[in-house]
Structure 1
Amino acid sequence: MNFPGIAPSIPYILGGILVTLQIVALSVLLGFSWGVILALFKISRVRPLMWFADFYTSVFRGTPLVLQLLIIYFGLPQIIGFTIDPYWAAVAAFTLNSGAYISEVIRAGIMAVDKGQREAALALGVPYRQMMKDIILPQAFKNILPALMNEFITLTKESAIVTVIGVGDVMRRAYQVGANTFLYFEPLLFAGLIYYVMIMILTLLGKLVERRMRRSD
């Protein structure tokens, strides 16, 4: 192996970390917000909202993420009449996909909260929105935190597929270095190390947050 051969390109590959984290962080934030809305639709008594949320989740959980990304980046411009920036196409695809998975996690967390608390809140005349915001959702989030962190970690790894639409993330830059130096194993191995370190850091952060939340109970 010829790691000295790619040494000058290491800063270039490392520059992709910021791109990767920006896409993942924004997608998680938007996906979480969208997931909360979908979860509320799923437990709603309004049947059209329930049907929409269930159908939406089945579509985005039943098709590959890379297909969704390609449809948004290559297919959608055919309909709307203008091209989409690769960065925003990636954010849109990850947001829509992550929202579907997160909605199921949040729905399960809400349903796991004791029904007695909901009934007591309604008996005391607490409005539905306030009950969900102040009573049900805070307890649900404590229960589903590990699952949410797992989704965050999974999305970080899956973000590597943005290389197919030309986003300059870690994977794309590693591939470009390989094409320029004719050394593919070394830059790709280095990219794998970068992803591994990022995942380990996220895992440790998740454990720290989980411990603090347990202490606050």
Structure 2
Amino acid sequence: MNRRSFILAASAAVLAPSASRAELIVPFAEAPSRAFIPHPTFVAQQCADWCWAASCSMIFGTLGHPTDQRKVVDFLYSDLACAPAPKTRDLTTILSKSWIDDHGVTFRPRIEASFDQESGIIAINDALIVSELLQKRPLLYANKDHCMVIVEADFIPTPRGPRIIAMGALDPWLPSDQPGSSPYHRLTKAERRPAFLGGDMMYLAAVRI
């Protein structure tokens, strides 16, 4: 996963029991709310192919364990090669093993829920995503060729739970020829849609420590 290129939000259709009914059925609607992390840790990737390592470093740092992205890279490539993470299962391993942070403290993250296109895992929904962000926990995201960190979601409350209508991420890619550029990236509709539904999302994981 180098440069940039699911939400399984239920779409409810309200059907009248009979065509002869004259009453108007109005769908539930409410003003959007926002769940976000006010001060997430940002880490810029140190090479063109290290978006995955920088994103994991952001996750760890925001959760209280700053960890240099080079430690993450060293786990897969002992020579610190500027190379992409080969499989999404490597991301799952990184987010599930013990680490020693930059302060010498040992910690072990765990994946609370995830969507993993390559592994056939669909175990996350809008309610959990919103809950994680409200608890100030970012999520690791990957589209078809780039990793980012989800730090914001706009959602509409419904009787069946929150329905996400937009998401924002921190993008570790900051081109050197664009000084002062913002790392914030608003996900497109395609980036929010799972790959098996014709979108670009390949991976999304809620991480806790």
TM-score grouping bracket, smaller chain normalisation = under 0.3
Larger radius of gyration: 1
Structure richer in helix, relative to its length: 1
Q: TM-score, normalised by structure 1?
A: 0.26
Q: TM-score, normalised by structure 2?
A: 0.27
Structure richer in strand, relative to its length: 2
